[in-house]
C-alpha cells in the first residue's frame, strides 16, 4: 500500500489479516492475537506471532499492519521505556509524538496495543494514545468483532483469558482475515 498522508490509521478496514484484542479484568491483562497473514484474499501464513513481550517481559504488545513497520515501532517503544522505566503512558506519548513528527516514522503503517500490569494503550500513526474505557480494546480487521464479543460477554465471564479466547473465537467465525491460531500473553498485577 503506497504512503498516503491523508490516510486514516484508525480506519479498521485497512488492516487485513489480523485481530488483536486486549482484556483487563480482575487483576489480569491479556493481549491475544490470531496468526493469519493475508494478501488480498489469499492467506499467506496462518501461524504468525503478532503478540510479544517487550521491556524485559514487563510489557506485552500486539500489532496490526505492516510487520516490519510494527517491529520498528516496538523497538522505538522499548527505547522509550528504557528512558522512562515503569512509565508506560509517558513512553507511549513520546513514541506517538515521534511517530507524528518524524519524516521516516510517519510512513510506518501499523497500530499497537501495549499493556503493563497497570495500564493499556492503543497507539496509532495519527498520534493517538488511547486508554480503553472498559478495559477492553481491539485492533485489526477482526478487531471490531472481537471487541463487540468481549463487551457482550464481559458481564458473564470473570476470567480475562477465557473472555479473550471466547471473543477471538467469535471473531474467527465472522472475519475471513482472522484464524484460530492464537498467541496469548498475560500479566497479573
Answer yes or no: is 12 within a domain: no
Answer yes or no: is 9 within a domain: no
- Pairing type for strands 110-115 and 120-123 reads antiparallel
Answer yes or no: is 1 within a domain: no
Answer yes or no: is 13 within a domain: no
Answer yes or no: is 139 within a domain: yes
pLDDT value at residue 100: 87
pLDDT value at residue 115: 98
- The pTM score is 0.90
| DSSP letters spanning 123-183 | E-TTS-EE--SSSEEEEETTHHHHHHHHHHHTTT---HHHHHHHHHHHHHHH-TT--S--E
In whole angstroms, what is the distance from residue 107 CA to residue 35 CA? 24
Alpha carbon of 176 to those of 26, 30, 42, 60, 115: distances in Å?
Answer: 31, 23, 10, 26, 27
The parent domain of residue 136 ranges over 21-188
Q: Are 172 and 142 within 8 A, CB to CB?
A: yes
- Catalytic site residue 18? yes
pLDDT value at residue 3: 36
CATH of the domain at 175: 3.60.20.10
- The tens place of each residue's pLDDT in the chain, 189 residues long, gives 443 333 444 444 444 568 999 999 999 999 999 999 887 788 888 999 999 999 999 999 999 988 888 898 999 999 999 999 999 999 999 999 988 888 888 888 889 999 999 999 999 888 899 999 899 999 999 999 999 999 999 999 999 999 999 999 999 999 998 999 999 999 998
Alpha carbon of 94 to those of 11, 49, 98, 114, 157: distances in Å?
Answer: 23, 26, 6, 14, 35
In whole angstroms, what is the distance from residue 78 CA to residue 80 CA? 5
pLDDT value at residue 29: 98
Helix 88-101 vs helix 67-83: angle between axes, to the nearest 10 degrees? 130
Answer yes or no: is 50 within a domain: yes
pLDDT value at residue 90: 97
pLDDT value at residue 108: 85
Task: Determine which one of 18, 19, 120, 178 is catalytic.
Answer: 18
- Kindly give, in sequence order, each residue whose CB lies less than 8 Å from that of residue 139, ignoring residues fewer than 6 positions away: 12, 15, 18, 20, 62, 64, 111, 112, 113, 122
Domain count, the chain: 1
- Pairing type for strands 51-54 and 42-45 reads unpaired
Answer yes or no: is 99 within a domain: yes
Query: Would you say how long the chain is, in residues?
Result: 189
pLDDT value at residue 64: 92
Answer yes or no: is 14 within a domain: no
Amino acid at each position: 500500500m503506497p504512503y498516503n498522508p491523508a490516510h486514516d490509521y484508525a480506519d479498521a478496514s485497512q488492516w487485513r489479516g489480523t485481530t488483536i484484542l486486549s482484556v483487563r479484568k480482575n487483576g489480569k491483562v491479556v493481549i491475544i492475537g490470531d496468526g493469519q497473514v493475508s494478501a488480498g484474499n489469499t492467506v499467506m501464513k496462518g501461524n504468525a506471532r503478532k503478540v510479544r513481550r517487550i521491556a524485559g517481559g514487563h510489557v506485552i504488545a500486539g500489532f496490526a499492519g505492516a510487520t516490519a513497520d510494527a517491529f520498528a515501532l516496538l523497538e522505538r517503544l522499548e527505547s522509550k521505556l528504557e528512558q522512562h522505566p515503569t512509565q508506560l503512558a509517558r513512553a507511549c506519548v513520546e513514541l506517538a509524538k515521534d511517530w507524528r513528527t518524524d519524516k521516516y516514522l510517519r510512513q510506518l503503517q501499523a497500530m499497537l496495543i501495549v499493556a503493563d500490569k497497570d495500564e493499556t494503550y492503543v497507539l496509532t500513526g495519527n498520534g493517538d494514545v488511547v486508554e480503553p474505557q472498559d478495559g477492553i480494546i481491539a485492533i485489526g480487521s477482526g478487531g471490531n468483532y472481537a471487541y463487540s464479543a468481549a463487551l457482550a460477554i464481559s458481564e458473564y465471564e470473570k476470567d480475562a483469558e477465557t473472555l479473550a479466547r471466547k471473543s477471538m473465537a467469535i471473531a474467527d467465525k465472522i472475519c475471513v482475515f482472522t484464524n484460530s491460531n492464537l498467541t496469548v500473553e498475560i500479566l497479573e498485577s
